[in-house]
């Protein structure tokens, strides 16, 4: 069994795909990332000869369709933008949501007509959310499937406290104007005056704040999450408006063993009492102040959060879903069994 996963840049979904690769490989299934910007479709497919192809509908081109057509046995899953009944409710100028373009629909129709594929499309929303965000795919005979973000157990297991990373509040992420609409309200008030809290912010792109500590290695991210007393999780504006988006950060924090206070997006209620939710910026700071002085409460909550993610939301769980949707039920069950052995 071989799985080829198309990659289109080092954003949050890239790390999700890496988690899939790690989980597949750990179970003896050969999986590789294909950087479609660097290697042609013909070279990638001819060299690797996958049994399962995980790509993106918005990156479909004639070459990829031809490669799929030449392999009738191939199972295909594609990440696809929103195309559902909620679309007319969204101000597309205001919210940075990935919608299915007209060109994407045309390429999907061509793929479907010529190959009968894909076997399913997916996005990182819950299955309930997809009933309104992706239900129109069913009208052309394509099943929408939830593949939420997840924890990479290979990258985020075995976190250790690092004296250099200790702080009151530790945050890893990028800053740009759209995300800043939430960050400015929740995180920035905690930065002034500078001695108010010990804050460390890491990210590949510089932040214009004194608490910015530079880039951080992938291997140190998990250590920051357990070295900081509190790890905030902050969402994008559309998540607040529609309540459907669960970002990658929260899975990383919890699986690493960190204590998380998050802005209150409806979808985050899935984490139950493993995450503390704040209803407003004022409530966020109030909860920061409370939990900074409550180490035992932090430990209890972070333990619950880690157990929940470990039991339901790792790369193994997502790969099990992929295998099941591709018709490999026995392999899917084996993947779940492996997930159950994670420490």
Contacts (Cβ under 8 Å, ≥6 apart) of 286: 278
* Cα–Cα distance for residue pair 93/327, rounded to 1 Å: 39
pTM, two decimals, is 0.96
Enumerate domains of the chain plus CATH numbers.
Answer: 2-150+314-339 (3.40.50), 157-312 (3.40.50.2000)
The dihedral through the CA atoms of 67, 68, 73, 76 has a sign that is: positive
Q: Which pLDDT score, from 0 to 100, does residue 40 have?
A: 97
Average pLDDT per block of 10 residues along the chain, 343 residues long: 91 90 97 96 98 96 98 98 93 86 95 97 95 95 97 95 98 92 97 95 95 95 98 94 92 98 96 98 98 98 98 97 98 94 85
Q: Which helix (H) or strand (E) holds 53?
A: strand 52-56
State residue 311 phi and psi, 5-degree precision.
-85, -15
Sole residue written with tokens 């951080």: 216
Residue spans of alpha helices (H) in 123-280 = 127-133, 153-156, 177-186, 218-227, 237-242, 248-256
Angle at the Cα of 53 (from 47 to 56), degrees rounded to 5?
A: 115
Q: Which DSSP state fits 171?
A: E
One-character DSSP codes across 18-41: HHHHHHHHHTT-EEEEEETTTS-H
Q: Which pLDDT score, from 0 to 100, does residue 51 have?
A: 98
Angle at the Cα of 132 (from 131 to 136), degrees rounded to 5?
A: 85
Q: Which pLDDT score, from 0 to 100, does residue 144 have?
A: 97
Q: Which pLDDT score, from 0 to 100, does residue 80 have?
A: 96
């Amino acid at each position: 069994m071989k799985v080829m996963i198309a990659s289109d840049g080092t954003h949050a979904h890239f790390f999700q795909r890496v988690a899939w690769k790690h989980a597949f490989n750990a179970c003896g299934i050969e999986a590789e990332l294909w950087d479609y910007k660097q290697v042609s479709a013909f070279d990638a497919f001819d060299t690797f000869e996958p049994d399962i192809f995980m790509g993106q509908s918005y990156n479909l081109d004639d070459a990829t369709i031809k490669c799929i057509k030449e392999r009738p046995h191939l199972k295909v899953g594609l990440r696809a933008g929103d195309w559902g009944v909620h679309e007319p409710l969204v101000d597309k100028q205001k919210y940075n949501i990935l919608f299915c373009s007209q060109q994407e629909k045309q390429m999907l129709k061509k793929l479907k007509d010529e190959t009968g594929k894909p076997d399913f499309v997916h996005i990182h929303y819950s299955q309930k959310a997809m009933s309104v965000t992706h239900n129109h795919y069913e009208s052309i005979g394509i099943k929408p499937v939830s593949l939420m973000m997840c924890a990479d157990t290979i990258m985020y297991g075995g976190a250790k406290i690092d004296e250099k990373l200790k702080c009151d509040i530790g945050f890893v992420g990028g800053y740009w104007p759209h995300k800043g609409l939430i960050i400015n309200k929740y995180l920035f008030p905690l930065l002034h005056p500078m001695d108010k809290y010990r804050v460390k912010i890491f990210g590949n792109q510089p932040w214009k704040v004194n608490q910015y500590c530079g880039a951080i290695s992938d291997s140190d991210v998990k250590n920051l999450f357990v070295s900081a007393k509190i790890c905030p999780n902050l969402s994008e504006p559309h998540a607040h408006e529609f309540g459907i988006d669960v970002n990658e950060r929260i899975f990383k924090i919890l699986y690493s063993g960190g204590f998380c206070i998050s802005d209150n997006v409806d979808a985050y209620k899935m984490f139950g009492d493993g995450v503390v939710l704040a209803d407003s910026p004022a409530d966020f700071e109030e909860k920061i102040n409370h939990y900074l002085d409550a180490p035992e409460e932090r430990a209890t909550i972070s333990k619950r959060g880690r157990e929940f993610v470990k039991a339901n939301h790792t790369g193994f769980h997502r790969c099990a879903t992929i295998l099941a949707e591709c018709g490999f039920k026995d392999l899917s069950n084996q993947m779940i069994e492996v997930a159950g052995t994670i420490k």
